Structure 1
Amino acid sequence: MNNFLFVAAENDALENCKAGGMGDVVRDVPRQISERGDKVHVVVPAYSRLHHGGLPRTTLNFSLRGMAYTAELYEVKPKKEFPNIFHYVLHHPEIEAGDIAHIYHNDPEEPFYTDAIKYIIFCTAVAEAIKQGAFGDVDIVHLHDWHSSLLLFLREYHTEYTNLKDIRIVYSIHNLAIQGIRPFDGNYSSVKNWFPSVPLDYQKLMDYRYQDCINLMAVGIRFADAVHTVSPSYKEDVLLPSSPPEFIGGEGLEKDLQKADQEGRLFGILNGCNYKNINKEKKGNIYRNTVKALFRWLQEESKKYKADFLAHTGEKIMAYVDENPKFIASSVARLTEQKFYFFMRSPEAFVEILKRLEKVDGIFMLLGTGAPEYEELFRKLSYEHKNFIFTNGQSEKLIDSIYLESDLYFMPSLFEPCGISQMLAMRNGNPCLVHHTGGLKDTVEHMKTGFAFDGESYDEKISSMIQTLDEALNVFENDKPTWKKIQSAARRKRFTWKKSADEYYKLLYKLD
């Protein structure tokens, strides 16, 4: 029996421990490992909240900043029990909940300042727990994004943790754009402050652009035994330099990724999708669930500043309760540059989309929260266009209804390492209209399982997006047999975790 340890910032197998797609992966891959009869331990920070009600397993003593530090490892109950999977959280008072999903800190003045401190303490405590045998004899450690890459720094340079050299350590990249860059020295949140006695190889650790800084994403790529991107096409993208906004590639780390590729350490394996628990919502509840969500948000103190807007959305949705629109285009996502750059830079293109939908008696439903400037743009557009329903909040039931009842799911991501939304929409037989990039290339085929737009230049991409919508609406209106064919092809597509896990075992874990 192989013994695995997953180390990450998020784990959706636990309540309230997810901010993005990484949480899904850290929930689902251990279940595949368990099905193969292997054992897996999953550890995340407690964020000063997740250890409540947990079972204290061990106390960890280690040194940081030339001082003695103590952290506690708790075993906690997951949402759903599986054999051979053990879930832990690590508690230390300095590992606090942030303002993003009660996980990450947003430090606009000095990015990663607070998070670097949290994850330095977390990773050192994990290294100590491995050394003490808290997870048994570990064969494979699987790290996720920069938050956990410090374990590779410890393996490479820290005399206390040379035992890590005996363990195969693999590293998954979920979001290459967020790199955890911190100064080497001269700052409370710098490497030298936390590891004053560890000799630093500046050349091997530095960020190419900011040479007085360590790049923790780069540390993961440079020192892991295997590096993994979450789709094959995204692997090809990241080997090339970015030239935004036309193309987002290696984000300054393409040389490291090319080197990993030449050394046979870089693999692109598509994430899977969880095909259990489909459609908890009944069909026909989309407007009811919208109204319910709006009433709930109206009672929340934190949403008082947009109470007028939420009431406006409620009034708007009531128009569709009796007289349903003939076509629903939708999108569910965090409102960020990655997901909606095209709409932010070219709001007139989005208005054009709304006009096209109006001609077929269609509406566009967008659900999400995120960057204030994106929220403001969509609120403004909602006041101006009656067929744009912007539900500016989070509601699981409404999300389920949107995936279930939309006719076309819109995903115009600027870049997409893998993407899960398109898989969730497709499993409901809901064709997607996507930007032909990264994982969207690997999952949506134009005119077969959905629709894809692209272009050499920014302007070409925008005009291709509108043309592709025209093409989709034309099929919907005038060629029902083809539309039904695309729907059932989308529904039949299966991106299973079993298939992904087979490749993990063969390529990343080297166990087959």
Structure 2
Amino acid sequence: MIPHPSPLRVLFLCAEASPLVKVGGLGDVGGSLPAALRQLGMTLAAANGNETTLKAPEGAPSSAIDIRVALPFYGAINRNRYKAQPVTSVEVPHANGAIAAEVFTLQVDRVPFYLIAGAPIHPQAPVYSADVGYDAHKFIFFSLAALETARKLDWQPHIVHCNDWHTAAAVYWLALHREQGAFFHNTASVLNIHNLTYLGDGAEFPMASFGLPPAQPGALPDWAKQLPLPLGLLTADHIVTVSPTYAQEIQASEAGLGMEFLLRQRADRLSGILNGIDYRRWNPEDDPAIPVTYTPESLFVREANKAALLNELGFIAADTGLEERNTPLLAMIARMDYQKGVDIVIEALYRLAREARQPWRAIILGSGLSELESSARRLQWYLPNQVRVVTRFDEPLSHRIYGGADLLMIPSRSESCGIVQMIAQHYGCLPVARATGGLKDTIRDYRSDEAATGFLFENPTPEDLLRTLHIAFEVFKDKPTWQAMQKRSMATDFSWKRSAHAYYELFCRLAAERARLTKCDDHPNQMSK
């Protein structure tokens, strides 16, 4: 048996990582997953000398996981709060001459970060700009500089873990060059797909400028042959999506966005691992943002949060004379985008009001497309006693909504994983969601599962959402059943610890596979033994 490396060395490349810089959900992953992997490595190391049920996979390293994160040194990173120290400098080959990169380091949650600065990463530019050519130049430079940093520091990673199109160039570079030198010879690549919508369009010229040629004829469609994500998908040792269902969906034409044929070809190298949520940040037992903290055993105090939320948003009980406890409070927390189904929620609430079958109230929180923001505000104008709309990013308010609302509406047209449904369940706010991607994988449906934690529907339409809301309303009236669902949802494990175990097992397998391949390359006569 070929021994596994100990410790397992992982270089994690990401365009965002909380708390240093966060624009969207990718930032949560970039901050939380490396920290969870490092903690798992410590647990495994401690368990190695003690009696415990927690053991490394068969033949895998049982010592700490040495994971290090590479991140562009954006101007948005607070230099006063995060004191990064210079560690080295490298050069990235380019058609117009090598481009210098300065590398700084600091630790977050005891995970080492390499912050990479250089001319392509302008300190005044946003993390993501409207100029796709600029972004491509920046992210390709960063990706290649991260690999050069590992080489300069003589720190040989067993795994290079890349995320989305921004860092896929590193995967492709490894496929082109690792057989030509000893340093990356034993390095395996993992490419995570968080959002297949963005392939790196507009990156053709920067890819060529950094010496990354198009794919071989016939390997990719002509339109994709020099885009970062398709090239990464073609050459990665393993592809990971952020939910098992999404891994299946993107092999079909509708969700595959032109990559479905390649993904079907590589199905044996494609898997889904669910994201998690950070319980240090999202925990109703000690959340400072909610008026009253609670546990599954003290759900009755949750009503105080609901009352405070209604009061904060200007709902007046006298408008309807209703007992708030028996009036379901609906919520939506989402980017104002058609992919999230905001238009579906708006139309469903209009219809719900016209039906007048029972009382309800709703809160919509989110910003995005101006046309959807306007539509949502018109809904509030039309239903002032039933609807409140807040068109801004307001994380403290989102905590109070999770802690006080009864139902969270998530009618996404597509959802690779999603995080809101996991947070909502952890807070006892039951999701009403379309059965797609990670939503399907993380919600157990009331109609088909005795251990239900929410309500699912098939089609992204107002009709299906409305029909499912009525089912949820009936269950809401049955308080023992409702509270049992809340307790089950709050007890579900959505931690990053669960995700880290799955990634660790994958990394160990890939490291062993890569070591076996390179040993056979070095000693080809062993192939016949």
TM over 0.5: yes
Q: How does 1:118-157 map to 2 (within 5 A)?
A: 118-133=138-153, 136-157=155-176
SS at the partner of 1:474?
Answer: helix
Name the structure 1 match of 2:515.
Answer: none
Q: Could you give the per-residue CA deviations for residues 394-415 of structure 1, whole angstroms, max 9, x where no partner exists?
A: 2221111011111001111111
Q: Which residue of 2 aligns with 1:381?
A: 379
2: distance between equivalents of 1:128 and 1:321? 66
Q: Which amino acid in 1 is paired with 2:223?
A: Y
Q: How does 1:85-484 map to 2 (within 5 A)?
A: 85-96=111-122, 102-107=126-131, 112-133=132-153, 136-157=155-176, 162=181, 163-182=183-202, 184=204, 189-195=205-211, 199-203=213-217, 206=220, 208=221, 210=223, 214-242=226-254, 249-261=255-267, 264-277=268-281, 278-279=283-284, 280=287, 281-283=290-292, 284=304, 317=314, 319=316, 325=324, 326-340=327-341, 342-343=343-344, 347-355=346-354, 359-386=357-384, 387-447=386-446, 448-455=452-459, 461-477=461-477, 479-484=478-483
1:340 aligned partner, one-letter code: G
Show structure 2 runs of 5+ residues with no match.
1-6, 42-63, 293-303, 447-451, 513-529
In structure 2, give the amino acid aligned to 1:115: D
Distance 2:365 2:380 in 1: 12
CA–CA distance in structure 1, aligned partners of residues 190 and 163 of structure 2: 9
Q: Aligned partners of 2:175, 2:222: CA distance in 1, in Å?
A: 23
Q: Which amino acid aligns with 1:349?
A: A
Measure the CA separation in 1 of the matches of 2:97 and 2:484.
Answer: 65
- Secondary structure at the aligned position of 2:69 is classed as strand
State the alpha-carbon separation in 2 of the partners of residues 289 and 470 from structure 1. Answer: 23
C-alpha spacing 1:62/1:276, structure 2 compared with 1 (3 Å): closer
Of 4, 8, 23, the match for 1:2 = 8
Larger radius of gyration: 2
* Paired position in structure 1 for 2:449: none
Instruction: Give, in whole Å, the separation in 1 of the partners of 2:365 and 2:358.
Output: 22
1:160 CA displacement:
11
* Contact persistence 2:340–2:413 (CA under 8 A): yes
- Tell me, in whole angstroms, the C-alpha distance in 2 between the residues paired with 1:103 and 1:155: 25
Q: CA deviation at 1:502?
A: 2.1
Cα distance between partner residues in 2 of 1:86 and 1:422: 31
Is the alpha carbon distance of 1:418 and 1:200 closer, same or farther for their aligned partners in structure 2, counting shifts above 3 Å? closer
Deviation of the 1:467 alpha carbon? 0.7
| CA apart distance, 1:287 | 7.7
Q: CA 1:506/1:205 → structure 2, altered by over 3 Å: closer, same or farther?
A: same
Is residue 104 of structure 2 the alignment partner of residue 67 of structure 1?
A: no
- Alpha-carbon separation, structure 1, partners of 2:180 and 2:90: 14
Q: CA offset at residue 202 of structure 1?
A: 4.8
The Cα offsets for residues 312-357 of structure 1, whole Å up to 9 and x where unpaired, read as xx6xx2536998843211111111222126528xx5334114556x
Q: What displacement does 1:226 show?
A: 0.8
**Are 2:74 and 1:47 equivalent residues in the alignment?**
yes
**Contact 1:425/1:431 (CA < 8 Å) preserved in 2?**
yes
Corresponding letter in the other structure for 1:427: H
**Aligned equivalents of 1:98, 1:235: Cα separation in 2:** 37
**Residue deviations 1:429-477, cap 9 Å, x none?**
111100011111111122111111114xx6xx43221111011112213
The answer to whether the Cα contact below 8 Å between 2:309 and 2:401 also exists between their aligned partners in 1 is no
Match of 1:23 in 2: 27
Query: Counterpart of 1:295?
Result: none
Instruction: Note the alpha carbon deviations across 1:253-312, whole angstroms, 9 max, x for none.
Output: 111111111xx21111222222334132223467877998xxxxxxxxxxxxxxxxxxxx
Task: Within 5 Å, give how 1:480-495 maps onto structure 2.
Answer: 480-495=479-494
Q: Is the contact between residue 91 and residue 101 of structure 2 (CA under 8 Å) also seen in structure 1?
A: yes
Q: TM-score, normalised by structure 1?
A: 0.81
| Structure 1 unmatched runs, 5+ | 243-248, 293-313
Superposed displacement of residue 63, structure 1? 2.1
| Identity fraction in percent | 28
RMSD: 2.8
1:306 matched residue in structure 2: none
Structure possessing the higher relative contact order (Cα contacts under 8 Å, 6 or more residues apart): 2
| Separation in structure 1 between the aligned mates of residue 124 and residue 359 of structure 2, nearest angstrom | 43
Query: Is the alpha carbon distance of 1:253 and 1:210 closer, same or farther for their aligned partners in structure 2, counting shifts above 3 Å?
Result: same
Give the structure 1 partner of residue 295 of structure 2. none
Distance 1:418 1:199, change over 3 A: closer
Aligned length: 452
